[in-house]
Structure formats: structure tokens, C-alpha cells
Structure 1
Amino acid sequence: MNAASIFQRHFARLPVWQWLFLAVATLGLSAASRWLTLPGVAFSALWPASGIFLGAVLALGNRPLWLLVPCMVFWSSMLMNEPWAMAVSGAAGLACGSLVARLLIERGKHSISARGTLSPLHYLPNLYFKGAFVGSGISSLIGSLGYRFSVPAAAEFAWQDIWLVYWLLEGLGVILFAPLFFFMLRRPSFTWQSIRVDFAKKPILIWAVMVLLAITLSVILGQLGDDRYAPIFALALFPLVCWFAAEASPPSLDSIIPIFAAIFVVFSIYQWGGLPAVEDITGLLRVLLQVGFLAVMAQLVANINHQRHLLLDRFRRQAYQDYRTGLANDRGLYQEIKELLETNRNGQHYLAYISLIDIQIIKELLALDGAITVESVLTQQLQQFAVDHAVIARLSEGRFAVLLPNSTKTQAEIAVNELQQRLSRPVDEAGMRSNLRISIGVTPVNGQLYSPQQYVSVAAQAANIAKQHSLNVYWVDNPKQVAADHYSKLNRFGLLKDAIENDELELFAQEIRALREPEEGRAFEVLVRMRDEQGELLSPAQFMPAAEAFGLMPALDRWVIHHTMAFLAADSARLEGTCKCAINLSGASLSDPDLANYIAQQLNYFQIPASKLTFEITETEAITSTQQATKFILDVHALGCRVALDDFGTGLASFEYLRQFHFDEIKIDGVFIRELANNDVDESIVNAICKVAAAMQLKTVAEFVENVELSDRLANLGVDYAQGYGIGKPQPIGDLFTHGKRSS
């Protein structure tokens, strides 16, 4: 291989500035090191070449050796007039030691490519054991042999003493210079930027002033012959270096440590600052041990400080990151929304709240591991979501959010539709072959609300609306109004909870009149009312949504059952005169497996004939558990109570429910009754319902009957009972029995 090919293969791969820097640094620092020694001593107190060699091969590979070895041979033989054998052995030793140290470091866990490591030499076992101990041991061994056999005066010393001195010098050079040169060659821009940033900080500037002050006072007092205080200021450099190590970045510390080492050696050799005189090699080696101690102590402090910062950064990331998926968590999402509104409040942004509807069912079917697998797949789908600058977060189990900054509504619609399609696919990894049920609520993030939490709350409410109405996506146009409604619900929730706990609700009743058969007693539907803070009576429409939203319906239903039976049992004549007492049950109560037992206990406690009670199930609510609803109806029938299907005709299943469940009566929704006198279609629908009911031997009740004429018409169509303002308005339940003489 000719010289041109060698140059092309090794030299041309590196930038020219790196070759020039290595050559100038090697020759310049080696020459400068000759000033840091005693007169007549053949070696330098600080030997930067060993550190330059190791730092260069770690940063750039073996290629720098093609330059460094000739430079060292040239410096030793031409500039220092050393024998060729000594020059070649010294350069070869440095090359061999660096190669061995590099091999050991790269095979270790904390190598150059190790993640999260600023430098392989900032893992101190690499620097101290593999670099300073093993690498310098090999290079000093070869160099000391060359010195022993090429310099006649070396015969005066034991060979092992020469080796140990060489070893100390080269090991100290590795500790002081290798980290710095690795950074300068591997990450030059980062190194200079870190140094500039550090020395722009106020604590570092204060530190620099204190260092200059300590050096100046030490020199002045030493020149004045004050040997009491001058050493104090000189030795103050030790804690100052440790202070710097705790404040500065690794590149800054790596550049400062050699400077402080050189200052301390100069002070010792030239007896500045009142330090003891160094008169021989033993004294010089003692100074070098002190310098080594200073460097190791500073590097240990820096390493501990660096690990502390890594730990703190990890804790900070964990505070804003979901532990299971690595996505942002709720805090991370709130922070992103906050920063977005602070920097671009007038822009168009959208927040999508994603709810996995069947997460609890998935946990029951597939156990926790299966649910985790499903969420992992959803996370992967979200991470592949190709929208610039989108922020993806996992808020809780089966709940995710996607923040779409700087997006028009059209762009947001396209993105959300893509999300819905992606996330609804079956999860084969968990053994699920059917599509996932996903509901998504989307709200604009437009600066109308006061906090990020409110935007997430509004989007969550939109997702809940989408779930209730079997929609894929529900879009919010006015988040401020939705937030105000939610706040109102929260307020009503607090009032209702207190009213249930303190028995402050009020029972009302509305009469139900028989149209076709003689009445055997009083029939009525039990209603409930609540008063606000000012004592004003609230209708169910004003507090029922809060009860439904926050899960109070089962407790409210039980309160009504208990107090209704207590009211009837309080007066035997009242109980005797009642033929039918209808009580509404919510869809949530039907999912309560203990509700039928509770009704049985109340019947037994108050001694109420079960035949007097009719429980109305609202057909406009989906019956979530068909099995549980069937069991409840059978259990209630076994007690002797009756069951009615309320709001029939406008709900979610209508005639299918009549086939599936054993009802005793149906209540025709008022939407078919109000305009029946003027609407032939409504009349036909009511007539059809009555025929179906008659065929199934069910009683019918018409709601919203506003006048007597409508009652007569309904009777002719086959309706059994009527209820509405034309029959009787809702009133306190006690008034129904005190003043409620029914008019014909």
C-alpha cells in the first residue's frame, strides 16, 4: 500500500481542523509541560500526551494514531534531543496503552454508544481503571523499557522505580486531559457551547472572582513573606474546584481541572503563595499526588452531581410522563395546553378525548395483562398518528387524549376521523377479533376557559355524550357553555348529595286516572323535588342530570322507595285507599343486583302490600345488562309488585323490549298524546300500541293528557289510564290525600 492510499484511507476521513488541532495541541502542550518540572529533571510534572492519545482514539477511532505517533517521535527526538529508541518506544507505548484502554472501554457497559452517557470517561471506572491504571500501565511499561535501555544514566535507578514514576505521570495525564480531548474532538460544538453557557451564569462568575481573588492574595502575601495566610488562599483552590464541579457542566469542568492542576504545580515548584519548597523528585511526586487527589475529588463531586441531576430529570419526566406507555400523563397534557395558550392564544387548536368504552369488560374477559396489551396496541397506533406537533397523552385506564395545535377544523376533523378508524380495529395481539368501541369528544382550545383542566373536562364530557348517544365523535362548539353546564351540575350534585343524606328531598305525586274501568282506590305516580340554597323548589330536570352524571341515581331511587313506603305506612287509611303507587327506577338501579332484596326488606318492614306498588323502568335509557334486568323483573314479580315500561315509543328498543321482558303495563310517551286530536298519525300509533298491549294483556297509560276531551278520545282508542295536567298537576304527596278529591 503506497503513501497516497494510506492518506486517502486514514487522513482524509477526518476534517482538516481536527488534524491541525491534534498536531498543535500535542506538540504545544508537550513543550509547555517542560516548564512544569524541577531543574535537571528529565520528565514533566504534568504529561498531557497520554490523555491526548486516549481521548483522541476514543473520540475518532484509531485513525489519529497515524498523526499522533509521528508527532511524539518528532517532538522527542528532534525537539528534546532524546535517543531514537526512547522516542519510538515512548510513542509506541502511548499508542499501545490507548488502544488497549479503548478496547476495554468499548467492550464495557458504559461505552461511547451507551445511552444517556455524556462521555465514556465520565463513568469513572473507565477513566481510573481502564484508562489510568491499565492503559497507562502498558504505555509506561513500554516507555520505561525504552528509557532504561537507551539512556545510560538510567542504570543508576531500579527499573521498577522508573516504571512506577512513568506510570504515575501518564496515569495523571489520562485523568486530567483525556475527558477534555474526548469532548473537544467528539462534540466540539457542544463543548464550546457548554463552556459559554456556564461562564454566563451568575454563580460561575462569582466563583471566577473568588478564584482570582484567592490566587492574587496568595501570591501577594507570599511575596510579602507572610507564610501564615498565603498557603490558606493557595489551598482554597481545592474547595473552589469542588464548588465548580457541583455547578458546571462536564465539558467546563474537564477544561478547568488541568488549568488548576497546572496552577498548583507552578505554585509548588516556584514556591508561590507560601507553599513548601519542592527540592527533589520525591517532593515533586508528592505534589503530583496532591494534584491527582484534587482532580479525583473534583471528578467524584461532578459525577455525583451529574447522577443527581439525571435522577432529578428522571423524576421530572415521571411527573409528566405515563409510567406504562411513555406518553404524556395528565400533568404533561395540562402543561402542553398551558404553554400553547401562553404562546399562541389566538391560534386554532383542538383537543380530542378518547375513551375506550369497554375497558372494564376487557379487564374481566382478558384479565389485567390483556387490558395492558390492548392499551399498548392503542398506544402504538397513537404514536404512529402522523400529525405534526400533536401531543399524545394517557390520562387513565382506557382514557387517552390528543392535542392538535395550530389546526383548522377541517384538518382536525380529518385527523380525528383517522384516529377513530385506527383505534377501532380489532386487537389481534390480545385475541380480540371484534372492533373496539371508541368514543371521542373534541373541543376547541380557544382561550375561553381558565385552565387546561377545564378543556380536558369539557372534552371528557363530549366523549361521554358520544357514548350515551352511540356516536363515534361528538364535537363541542362552545366549550365555555359546556363548562358552565358542568359547573352547574357539580353544584346540583353537592346539593342533591346533602339532601339525600339529610332527608331534605320532598315527595310529590301526580294522579293517574282510570278511563275504562271503575276505580278501586287512588292511583298516582311518585315524583321527587329538591330545594336550592334560596329555598326555591327545583324540578327534576334541574337536578336529575347531575344525579345521572355523578352516579347518584341508585341512592336517589332507594331514598324515594324508602320514604314512599314510610309515607303510606304512616296512615292506615291512606294505605288502604291506595290502589296503585308508581315509582320510577333509573337504568343505573337496574344494574344494582341488590335492589330487589332492598325492596323486599322495605315491604316487610313497613308491611306494605306488594300489589299496590308499580315500578316504572324508563325505556329511553339503554338497559346495559339484559340478564340483570330480566332477573330484577322476575324478582319483583315474585314479590307481588308490578313493572311498567315508561316513555314507550321514543326510546332505544321499544317493541323489542316488550318481547324480551315481562312487563305488566306500558306508558305511552307524551309525544304521541299532545297533538293526538289534530294528528291522524299520532292517533294511529296510539291505536297500534293499544292493540299490541291488548294482545299481550298489558295495561296502557297515556302521559301528558291536558284535557277531559282528550281523555275520552284515548278511552275510545283502548287506553286504560290517563296522566297529565288535565287529570291533576304534581303536588306534595300529602296534599294529594288531604285535598285531592278527584273530579269526574
Structure 2
Amino acid sequence: MLWLAVLWSALGGHDRRIGATIAALGLLVAAAALHAWIRRSRLTAALALWTASLSLCAAASVPDLAGLGDSMRIAGAHSLRLAAYTAHLASTVWLLVALFRRDLASPRLRRALALVPAAGVAVALVMLVLPQRFLVPALPYAAGLAAVIVLLGSMHTLAATHAARLALFLAGWGAHAAAAVYGSLASSAAPHDWLARLAAGSGIAAFAASAGLIVVGALRAEARQRDRAERNALDAARKYRHVYYTAPVALISIDLLGQVLRWNDQAAQLFRGQLKQGRLNTLGAVLGRERAETLVAEARSSGRHRSEIQVRLEEADGGLRTCAIDALLAADAIEITLVDVTERSLLAHTLEHMAHHDSLTDRLNRRGLEREIERLAASVAAGGAASLIFVDLDRFKAINDVFGHAAGDSLVIEVANRLAGVLPASARIGRVGGDEFLAAVPDCTLDEARSMAQRLVHDVVDEPYDIDGKRIRVEAGVGIVEVATDMRAPELIAYASAACAEAKKGSGGRIVTAESSREHLARYRAGIALGMRLRTSLPTERMSVHAQPIVALKGDPRVLSYEVLLREQDERGQPLPPARLIAAAERHGAMSAIDRFMLERTLEHLDRHRQHAASLGFVTVNLSGISLNDDRFLADVHAMLARHCAVAPKICLEITESVALYDMRNTRRFVDRMHSLGVRIALDDFGAGYSSFAYLRELPAALIKIDGQFIVGIDRDPKNQVIVRGIRRLAEELGAACLAERVEDVAALATLLALDLDYAQGFVFSKAQPIEQWLTQPVDLRPLERAGRRPLAGRSEAPAAQHGRRVPAVPA
């Protein structure tokens, strides 16, 4: 309505030319506004607003506009002009920013320019309260121009190529501002001054011309850019269409209701007979109704959907293919991509199979078994039953060494096949080690598993294997456990392995069943906890050193010698079997710590009781194979023996035959270092392993301890007597003493006397007692008297003279 009033006032005045000009400007404003709305052009919108404000300034400068009455001419003319110029200041700043928005990159400059119209409004408000003679309507407008010039000049943000355009715009603005100020001053003195009216028209024309030139140039550049964008869009559309219809993957476009809009050749070939031109195609008819509804709903809610689908091709060689679906929401459509991932799926399946199966037997590996055991544990939690059967072959390495690794591999495969033949079809069989197998049997109680294991032992152990024309027999231990819900799969496998290890300690093919009751689990977990503790520290508060006497069968038997042995007590001080602690230490790598403890405690005991040590013949201390291959332990042993050098010559370190043969060079180096400290070496369990004369030649042992399996019942076994006699003669020729272990009765002791052995050790004399007890307690030599020899009244060398041999002491 205000705009119509302005037009009516301008056309109804005396100056028809100015009114026509204002009307033309009004038409230009309307055209610019329409163009801005159609083109969505910010510049055109700014131009329309600027033109409207310029028209308002022109209308306000016509004196006849104020001719409605004398009161309005006096009081309202200046206020109307002040409002018009203030509004025009804001529109001019907006036009300036629209024209040069890409050049005004400084955020500080943009914020400063935005404050210019606000400052103009503030100045206008101040001027309204001033007396009439001080009111100049165009002054805020001119002040705004000055502020803009100052800001642009101080920021230096415009490119040089745009400086001319900016100068032209500011020149037109300056001409209009100067004319407006002049007109405001002149109208106050002479309202009908033709010179003021001419100046106002000239200023408007100059500003409109300069701004018009710049706007036209900007609009032409904008039009060229829009044309270029449209051409690029058309090119992109053509390229998209080409790519869409020639893409090597299937593409389907649907609307938000699931109706197919278009598809490419790959989709037509993939869904032949389901996508046809000239009819309404729906995604439900292509993928299935349920899958299509899920796809559309998920794409509309989250913007994307991914899944896989099985598609059967109609070609003879097509078969069933796996396609990956990837659907993306794009505006009002959903773009679906289907990629044939059959080969990738097959590869993933192959890798999955390889990750959970043994490459040799194609049975489950440890990872696959753990997964199956977890499933069995879930079924047990639901009220079912399940058992694990662990099978460990004996001396499999010897089979590899004798018959070759190819034969060993064939044997492993055949063992797995026989296990599958004995166990039910529901059992899941796996290989957890080179010669270790585990079967997870669902719906199987412990009694049923024991019956299966008995049949298994018969087929696996008793029946020989025909491998490359060779008949090979194997032995195996079998451990059985029932699956418990409070045990994880790795713990269950370790539990079954421990039961199998117990079975292998007995005769070949023996079966050990470990229940998952609270008592059995408590003992097993206590052993595991002990092993974990042994990794960091020994339970020395529960460990003690005992000693079992060694009696000289020649010379003076009253000269005490003994072997130190480890013993353990529980929390109440009751003795525990030492095998538990030793087994845990072997499993968790703590044998070196135990050997160090035993040797250090023995040396300290002897050093505290030097008179007792001086009366001893020798003291044997066992060393494990792990310790002999531990350089740090060997350094500690050397340091301990050097620290207790006064009693070190009484020490005789025992190493087993198998350990000595494992690394002959390292063992010989250790023996030489011990000899340099006066320490003697004993070979323990001689005859129990693969005896070799070569290592007797390489290792200068002072004492050979015959394994107890040849001593128990020797009085009734002539073959053992022949073996022991041969070992004694061999030791005699090598300059070593000979000791018989596990002498349990007088009859065996009498036989050993007849075989002329040097020393005897066993329960016939005493069990192991705390080492402190032997400080005062003599050895009971009555079994020696009952065996046919009387103890000597004093130390005598007569026996050595009678037999023409050295004194039967362990040689240094």
C-alpha cells in the first residue's frame, strides 16, 4: 500500500516527468523481484530491494509529495526523507555485498559492513530529536558511504581486477550522496528550488547508471556461469546414463513405494523374466516381498541398507550366485546396487574353513574345537550332557625319525579316520597338536564316553597301521572329561589334556576319567593356581628339604651319604605328594627356580654344620633338563658353589641320561665347570632311556645310578641281574661308582651285595626324612646285617684290598 501511495503521489504531482520516472522504476523493481524469485538469484533480489529504496528516495525528494498540507510539509517531509535515505543505505550495503561477495572474504570486513546500516539508523534516530534547523535527511546516508569507503580502504581485501568496478560503484554512490545532501540543505531554504531538484535527479541517475552497469556485468557473468553449470549438468546426466546402463554391476532404481523406475542391462540379465518393459515392475516381485519391504523401510529410515541374496541364473552354467545388495536413499528414490560376490563368498568360506580346520587331517583345529565346545557348554547349560575325549599318541617323534615324516603324516590321518569310525557321527573331532586329538561328543555322559574310549583304544592302539607297506603300532593315552558350564573351552581342553597326561604315566592305552565335580575341579584349579604362582615366586613357606640315606655296600657303611629330595606341606602342615609341585613347575617353567632352591638350601645347611658335612661321604642334588639349558641358572649355580666353597666338594649333582643326550656339548661344558669347583656328577636313572656308550665316554661321571626298574624284584629276575652286573662292570672300567635305587627289601639288598655294587638307596634303609634329622640320627644298618654283611667296627680299607679295587667312594 505504501508503494501504491508513492506511485500515486509521484504521478499526481505537477512534475509529470519525475512521476513517470518513478513509475518506470517501480516497474523495474517488479520485474527484478519476479526475476529473482524465478532464478533464485540473490543478486537480483538485492537489486530489486535497492531499486525500490532508490525509488523511495526519488519520491521523497519530490516537493509535491509534501503538498498534502502545510503541517505535513513542515513536520513530515524531513522525516520521510530521513527514513528513505536510511533504508536506501541498508539496501545499498546489501547490494555491495551481493556484487562483491566472493571478494569480501574477510569475516571482520563482513561484520563491519553489517554494522553500517545499524549505525545509519542510530544517526537517524539522533537527528529526529534535533531541532528542525539542524535536520539534514541525507546525512546518515552520506555518513554510511564514508564508513564503507574507510572500511574497504583499510581492509585491502579486493582483487585488483575488481577495483575498477568497486570505484565505479562508489563514485555513483558518492554522486547520489552529494546530490542528496545538497538537496536536503537546499529544500530547507527554498522548497521549490529547481537547482536542488535537478541535483537530486542527477544523483539518482548517476548512481542508477553506475550500479546498473556493474549489475548488468554481474548478471551476465552469473548467466554464463549458470549456462556452464547447465551444460555440465547435461553432460553429467548423459555420462550418468551411460555409466548407469553400461555398468558391470546390476543397478535398479525404485521410488519410495517400491515401484521400479529403471534398471540397467546387468539387472535385466540377472533377473530375467522378472523385469520387463511395458508393465509395472515392483521390487517385491524381484527380491521377494519380505526382503523388499525390509530394504525400503531401512533405506527410508537410515538412508542405507546392506544384505546378501542368493540368485539362481537361468543359464546352464550359471548356477546359484551370491549377490551383495547395497541400497542408498537419493532424494525421492532408492538406488540399489547388486554385485556378484560369489567368488568372494567362496574365498571367505575357504578362509573360514582354514582358520578352524587342520590342514593335514581336515579335522577341526584348536580354534574350531573351542568354538564347538562353547556350543556344547550352552547345550549343557540347557540341561544336556557332553564329554570330551583327549587322545595323545606315545613316541610319535620316534615314528617320524625312523619311518620319515611322510609316514608320520599318513599315520596321523589314519588315526583321525579311525577315531571318526569309532565315535558317533555327531562327534566333532579335532587335532590340537602334532600327535594330540580331541573329540567333542554331544549328548554323551561320562559313562558313555568311557565305553567309547575303550572301543577307541582297541581300534587305535591294538590294531596296527599299514603305512607304505610297513606295519606300525602306536600307543596312546586317553583322558575323558565331562563338559561343565563353569569352565571355558581353553580350560576344558587343558583339563582333558591333564587327564590324558595322567593316563600316559600308566601302561599304554590306559584311560583316565576326570569328573567335573567340585572336588576334581578344585584339585585341578589348585594345580593351575600353583603353576601361575610358580611363574613369579615359589611357595617356600610350604617347601622343605628332606634327605634319603645312601649306604655304602663296600667300605664303612656308617659313613653317611644321602640324596636331598623336595617335599611340600599343605596349609595345616600335612605332607603333600611332591609330584604335584614338580608337575606344576614343569608345566609353567619353574623347575630352574626349584633346583636353585634345593641347591641353595642344601649348601646353606652344610655350611652351617661343617662338622657334619665333613663326616659325610657325598650329597646328591637333582637337576632338571630345563635348568641345564638355562644360562642364568648355571651362572647362579657357579656363584652359589663358589660362595660355599668349603662344602662344595661334598656336592654331587645328578643329571638324567635323557638330559645329557639332549645337548651333549652344553652338558659337557657344564660338567667341566662343576669339576673346576670340586663338584662331582652323577648320571641318574641310567638304563631307563636310550642308553649310549658314547655319552659315558664324553661325560666323566663319578657315580652311575641304576634305574629302579632293574632293582625292584632283582632277586627273582635273572635278566635284571645280568643287566645290573653289566652296568657295574662298565662303571668299574670307567672309574665310576655304581648305585642301586629303589632297594625295598632285604632279598634285593642281598642280591646287590652278591653283584658287588658300591651303594644302595631305598626304603629298606629309610624313607626320606627332614635333612636336619640326619644331624643326630644314624642310619639303620640292620637290613645290611640281615642281607649277609656285618657292619664294620671302624673305617677299614680291607674290602678294597680284598677285591683289588679302589676305595668305594664317589671319585672326585
State TM-score, norm by structure 2.
Answer: 0.45
Structure with the largest fraction of strand: 2
State TM-score, norm by structure 1.
Answer: 0.49
Determine which structure has more spread, i.e. the larger CA radius of gyration: 2
